[in-house]
A and B are shown apart, each in its own frame.
Chain A
Amino acid sequence: MKEITCKLLVIGAGPGGYVCAIRAGQLGIDTVIVEMAKPGGTCLNIGCIPSKAIIHAADDFAKTVAMAAGKNAMGIKADNPVIDLAKTMSWKDGITGRLTLGVAGLLKKAGVKIVVGRAKFRDGKTVAVETETGEQVIRAENIVIATGSVPVELPMLPFGAKVISSTGALSLTEVPQRLAVVGGGYIGLELGIAFAKLGAKVTIVEALDRILPLYDTQLTQPVAKRLAALGVEVLLGTKVKGLSSNGEALMAEAGAGEEKRIAADKILVTVGRKPVTEGWGREELELDMDGRFLKIDEQCRTSMRGIYAVGDVTGEPMLAHRAMAQGEMVAEIVSGKRHSWDKRAIPTVCFTDPEIVSVGLSPDEAKAQGREIKVGQFPFAANGRAMTLSAEEGFVRVVARADNHLVLGIQAVGAGISELSAAFGLAVEMGARLQDVAGTIHAHPTQSEAFAEAAFKALGHALHI
């Protein structure tokens, strides 16, 4: 096959890779992208997007079930709701299909050549791609590694028919009666809650003594409360041992050495994700590592000249929006512009029920940095819009410097709160002070009023509490 020569080669068409390629194409850079599956990566195909679809469907279904059970305060009644999970899945697949087609279209529009196959480095400037029709050699001045991450597999619970990863959970066509979730991080909780709402008897097994260790307990408490209300059993401080001898149940050990047998039809293992640093020739290139990740500098450059890396393969937080920002930046750098990573904050969103958002520093993190801080917190119980949504659980919390009131971080927990991440991110990135947030008119009645009120509270004069 004829060799391809280009200025920029991107390996992996997930959020980091495809954004990099689109931007590079827009900038007039001769760009090729290699992807072994569908464009969009984990995010569009088996991650962010499909999980949100299932979470939304499960939530709607749970509401309807509550209506049928006569538990709807608004007076809505329903009769015997059922969910056809296979249809739900095909609806979800429709969404991901449209999105991946959309990405392919955007790449094409930007003039990016897509090569489907598995890429492997030959040297720092050459990559060989195994395609369906043979080997395609691509030579590039610059190469971006955007190989992403995969779910971590537990040695005592290898993925199989019964033991599934998040990918497997997102393609179930029947709701398992009993679902055991190993790992109480955000992926496990998002999916665990969704399946609980779909009717599964969910047990969450977490080795640590708390759920969602990424967030402080103030933020996770409303989630714990909801888990209890949904009848989800949460076993903290419990380590999984493997399958029972007959393969029917999950064996675990609680703190005191007490053995637990958790009967389960499916076991969802969500104990984290690991970067894909093998299988594409990293060993031959001898790229420097930073722990289990590829080492990059503030321009996403690896230890080898002309080779960049973006996304999950470069470290925490393994989030699509971080990868996209990196990808966009690398395209600009390759085009000759002077750019470097200068973000003040990367928002994290946890799509549990209720949702959790965190941008910038939490009070504990700010204090750990030796900051004198002011904290303002406003509960949704005092927010009119939240009441009308029957979503009074949660709050918005603003963390600011005590000396000049610069906003250091914003956290919130509540229904639908993920959409407020935009306002939070903008405030931190623009360097807003408490007065800037408090002095911005927030539309009434919206949940966003809680943001302004939290700022007022930090300033010492909240109006509605």
Chain B
Amino acid sequence: MAEKLIKLPDVGEGVAEAELVEWHVDVGDLVREDMVLAAVMTGKATVEIPSPVEGEVTFRHGEIGDIIATGTVILKIRIVGEGADGEEEPEIELPLSQPEALSVEPQKQSEPLVERPKPAPEVIPQRPAASSVPRTVGAPRAEGEKPLAPPAVRLRAKEAGVDLRQVPGTGPAGRITHEDLDLFLDSQGGGGVTAGLQPNKAVQEVKVVGLRRRIAEKMALSKSRIPHITYVEEVDMTALEELRTRMNGTQKPGRPKLTILPFLMRAMVKAIGEQPGINALYDDEAGIIRQYGGVHIGIAAQTPSGLVVPVVKHAEARDIFDCAREVARLSDAAKNGTALREELSGSTITISSLGAMGGIVSTPVINHPEVAIIGVNKLAVRPHWDGAQFVPRKMMNLSSSFDHRVIDGWDAATFVQRLKALMETPALIFVEE
């Protein structure tokens, strides 16, 4: 009763494990009620775990990036005001830290720890500075001071590619000696620093965790399972752009500004009406293709932490302004990290658009287990042969990938050609048939 166990909560339907992505507290921290303790990630949504009590963290389990089963105890909090220190602790060997031991007699830290009566072994790694010798003296010299070195040292430094401004000098008046240079070269692993092109042998390890790991897994799954066929076609967007500009110009209050995306979404709804096989999920293990009546369009969006795909549900039931409004709302939510789990899943087809960064061709990776992804390339004015002359037209390419196991090249081409026809004559998008 003196201690509250914090278990990894069940964060979503049927999720048996989650990835630990953030720790907000450490052992020894005092926490208040509702303070965020940690964050875990399932699917593409991040869930924060608040503290149900006020007290002191006495135990912490798991490192960032660990996959932890639901129900696992990840924290223990000793509740304030309840239970005294003398009470028996059911848990063994809690690695309590004793911060006040750190500040005393820093000079003697390098002495053998055996002689110290206090059993505070976790203190050692927190004092790295005690063991380092004069090598790391911080900035070699005051700002604006030129390095002082005799010519022989300068020459050696140049030949080794060392910028003497980086080298601390221990000689008289801060003169850099041969020994100083030796020490510096040793600490650099023999490599130079500046002067000309230098091989950089540094390797930085970046742990793939959280969203990045999700993206990596998803991409690997898509590319290893799905034989992609990518089909690129150009679309003359001149008419659509004229229409779009006019629609944005006569905007009514409350109506969202239209981008190309809602037009494309509505065109996709139209084209899918004729080719329902495109709007499907392929469960390859069960050998079943589920064709959906509802068109749930995932919009691949770049966020500060990586790629996420918020989903516009039932695009077939939304008019163009509603589509636009929903895209804007979802992409904001995704960027702010406030998108709900439900809003980040359930798509049946996906659009990948990098806007001005769209390039001329891309090879989009299908959002598994979907069977198609429509890639939008950059819109640009290009010369177009109209049969008699070159005319400037606003051209845009669509680079679309399909799951070749279930969609033949002919069908893929038919679908894209239909999209092209609709977008080149945008009135067709709005015609009720």
The number of chain B residues touching the other chain, given as a range, is 10 to 19
A429 touches B158 (CB 8 A): no
A405 touches B158 (CB 8 A): no
B150 touches A430 (CB 8 A): yes
Q: Determine which of A337, A342, A401, A429 lies in contact with B159 in the assembled complex, contact meaning CB atoms within 8 Å.
A: A337
Question: Across the interface, which residues of B come within 8 angstroms of A406, CB to CB?
Answer: 148, 173
B195 touches A338 (CB 8 A): yes
A436 to B149, CA, bound (A): 15
Closest residue on chain A to residue B192 by CB atoms = A338
Contact status of A429 and B161, CB under 8 A, knowing A338-B195, A338-B196, A404-B173: no
A residues 277-334 with Cβ under 8 Å of B? none
Q: Does B151 touch A at the CB level, under 8 Å?
A: yes
A401 to B145, CA, bound (A): 13
Question: Across the interface, which residues of A come within 8 angstroms of B155, CB to CB?
Answer: 339
A401 to B148, CA, bound (A): 13
A431 touches B149 (CB 8 A): yes
A residues 386-415 with Cβ under 8 Å of B? 401, 404-406
Q: Does B44 touch A at the CB level, under 8 Å?
A: no
Q: Does A173 touch B at the CB level, under 8 Å?
A: no
B residues 154-189 with Cβ under 8 Å of A? 154-155, 158-159, 161, 171-175
Bits for A400-443, please: 1 = Cβ < 8 Å to B, else 0. 01001110000000000000000000000111010110000000
Question: Across the interface, which residues of A come within 8 angstroms of B161, CB to CB?
Answer: 338
B158 touches A339 (CB 8 A): yes
Closest residue on chain B to residue A338 by CB atoms = B158
A404 to B150, CA, bound (A): 17
B174 vs chain A, min Cβ distance (A): 7
B148 touches A338 (CB 8 A): no
Question: Across the interface, which residues of B come within 8 angstroms of A435, CB to CB?
Answer: 172
Q: Does A340 touch B at the CB level, under 8 Å?
A: yes
A436 touches B172 (CB 8 A): yes
A431 touches B175 (CB 8 A): yes
A401 touches B195 (CB 8 A): no
A226 vs chain B, min Cβ distance (A): 36
Question: Across the interface, which residues of A come within 8 angstroms of B196, CB to CB?
Answer: 338
B99 vs chain A, min Cβ distance (A): 40
Number of A residues whose C-beta is below 8 Å from B? 15
Question: Which of A338, A405, A406, A436 counts the most B-chain CB atoms under 10 A from its CB?
Answer: A338
Q: Determine which of A340, A431, A433 lies in contact with B150 in the assembled complex, contact meaning CB atoms within 8 Å.
A: A431
Question: Across the interface, which residues of A come within 8 angstroms of B158, CB to CB?
Answer: 337-340, 342
A residues 333-366 with Cβ under 8 Å of B? 337-340, 342
A458 vs chain B, min Cβ distance (A): 14
Contact status of A429 and B173, CB under 8 A, knowing A337-B159, A338-B158: no
Question: Across the interface, which residues of B come within 8 angstroms of A342, CB to CB?
Answer: 151, 154, 158
Question: Across the interface, which residues of A come within 8 angstroms of B154, CB to CB?
Answer: 342
Closest residue on chain A to residue B158 by CB atoms = A338
A430 to B161, CA, bound (A): 21
A406 to B149, CA, bound (A): 12
B29 vs chain A, min Cβ distance (A): 47
B residues 78-137 with Cβ under 8 Å of A? none
Question: Which of B159, B173, B175, B196 counts the most A-chain CB atoms under 10 A from its CB?
Answer: B173
A340 to B157, CA, bound (A): 11
B197 vs chain A, min Cβ distance (A): 11
A433 touches B172 (CB 8 A): yes
Contact status of A405 and B173, CB under 8 A, knowing A337-B159, A339-B158, A431-B150: yes
Contact status of A433 and B195, CB under 8 A, knowing A338-B161, A340-B158, A342-B154: no
Question: Across the interface, which residues of B come within 8 angstroms of A431, CB to CB?
Answer: 148-150, 171-173, 175
Closest residue on chain A to residue B174 by CB atoms = A404
Question: Across the interface, which residues of A come within 8 angstroms of B195, CB to CB?
Answer: 338, 340
B159 touches A338 (CB 8 A): yes
Question: Across the interface, which residues of A come within 8 angstroms of B173, CB to CB?
Answer: 401, 404-406, 431, 433
A329 vs chain B, min Cβ distance (A): 10
Contact status of A429 and B150, CB under 8 A, knowing A338-B195, A339-B158, A340-B158: yes
A451 vs chain B, min Cβ distance (A): 18
Question: Across the interface, which residues of B come within 8 angstroms of A340, CB to CB?
Answer: 158, 195
Question: Across the interface, which residues of B come within 8 angstroms of A404, CB to CB?
Answer: 172-174
Question: Across the interface, which residues of A come within 8 angstroms of B172, CB to CB?
Answer: 404, 431, 433, 435-436
Question: Across the interface, which residues of A come within 8 angstroms of B148, CB to CB?
Answer: 406, 431
A429 touches B151 (CB 8 A): yes
Closest residue on chain A to residue B175 by CB atoms = A431
Closest residue on chain B to residue A407 by CB atoms = B173
Closest residue on chain A to residue B195 by CB atoms = A338
Question: Across the interface, which residues of B come within 8 angstroms of A433, CB to CB?
Answer: 172-173
A434 vs chain B, min Cβ distance (A): 10
B173 vs chain A, min Cβ distance (A): 4
Question: Across the interface, which residues of B come within 8 angstroms of A339, CB to CB?
Answer: 155, 158
Question: Across the interface, which residues of A come within 8 angstroms of B150, CB to CB?
Answer: 429-431
A342 to B157, CA, bound (A): 12
A342 to B158, CA, bound (A): 10
Question: Across the interface, which residues of B come within 8 angstroms of A430, CB to CB?
Answer: 150-151
B175 vs chain A, min Cβ distance (A): 5
Question: Across the interface, which residues of A come within 8 angstroms of B171, CB to CB?
Answer: 431
A interface vs B, CB < 8 Å? 337-340, 342, 401, 404-406, 429-431, 433, 435-436
Q: List 23 A-B contacts (CB under 8 A).
A: A337-B158, A338-B158, A338-B161, A338-B195, A339-B155, A339-B158, A342-B151, A342-B158, A401-B173, A404-B173, A404-B174, A405-B173, A406-B173, A429-B150, A430-B151, A431-B148, A431-B149, A431-B150, A431-B173, A431-B175, A433-B173, A435-B172, A436-B172
Given contacts A338-B158, A404-B172, 6 further A-B contacts (CB under 8 A): A337-B159, A338-B196, A405-B173, A429-B151, A431-B148, A435-B172
Ranked nearest first, the 4 interchain pairs of A and B with the lowest CB-CB distance are A404-B173, A406-B173, A431-B148, A430-B150
